[in-house]
Amino acid sequence: MVGREQVERFCSLTERAGLESVRIGDEVWVLASASVPCVLRPSGEKQYRLWALERQARGEEIDEYMEPAIDLSIPERARLAEILCHQPKDLSDEQMFQRRIEAIDLYMALRGFIKPEVEFELASDPLSDPFPLLMNENQCPECFGDELLTLGERAFRYSLPTKRNDHFDDHHLEAKERAEQLGQLIICKHEKCKDVKLYTVDHFRNHVESVHTIALRTSDQVQQRRARKLKLRRSRNSG
């Protein structure tokens, strides 16, 4: 509890210090173990600045608080973007070779800043099933059942389902579309689905979603993505 003596001392200090440094929005707080109430100035979310009235009353200069400069730029990333996006046509073979070496060095330097696109995770319990029917949403249903791949490659976990779908559409979808056009069965490579007969790509999509909990892109979404990629490729070639 603040006594009368402390209040009178606080009022005396504010009179001697003057009101030129007090602003609208400043707050008076009673802090534990403080000899007088304090003037606090909000400087952010749940943050306050303490004005030293006693020092100001004695005529001591109070340094104005300066926000620290925060530089979020990454020189390596800026240089790498410059190399990849701006490639002069008059460079010699030796200059191009040196730029490629520099780009590789920059990639390596940025490894600490870039989140890995894929993660690897296998069951920690050796007795558990490493390849269950219910898959993680970021795993590729085609790679998951491919026995020609290593365990780590089969258990890839992409950072996002969108990344997983990009991989599936770019590396596996066309083969399944060709099988449908030729009237061949479409295979789910999961070891527990070897006897499952699938006749169309949509049938395969429904299967992996209902059995393996993996939602692939629909046919319309695939066509829209292909159209965007084709348009982008044509614009780059024309430029």
Per-residue pLDDT reduced to its tens digit, 96-147: 888 888 888 888 877 766 555 444 454 445 456 778 889 999 999 999 999 8
- Joined tokens for residue 133: 């029917």
Alpha-carbon gap, residue 6 to 18, rounded angstroms = 18
130: three-class secondary structure by DSSP: coil
Helix 161-171 with 173-181: angle, nearest 10 deg: 50
Condensed to tens digits (0 to 9), the pLDDT of residues 146-205 reads: 989 888 889 889 988 999 999 999 999 999 999 999 999 999 999 899 889 999 999 999
Residue 127: HSE in the Cβ half-sphere, 13 Å Cα cutoff: 0
pLDDT above 80 for 230: yes
Alpha-carbon gap, residue 76 to 58, rounded angstroms = 50
Asked if residues 190 and 144 have their Cβ atoms less than 8 Å apart, the reply is yes
Q: Using 50, 70 and 90 to split pLDDT, how confident is the model at 206? A: very high
As a whole number, mean pLDDT of residues 27-39 equals 67
Q: Apex CA 198: angle with CA 193 and CA 199, to 5°? A: 165
pLDDT above 50 for 1: no
Alpha-carbon gap, residue 36 to 18, rounded angstroms = 17
Q: Where are the domains of the chain?
A: 4-57, 75-112, 118-238
pLDDT above 50 for 84: yes
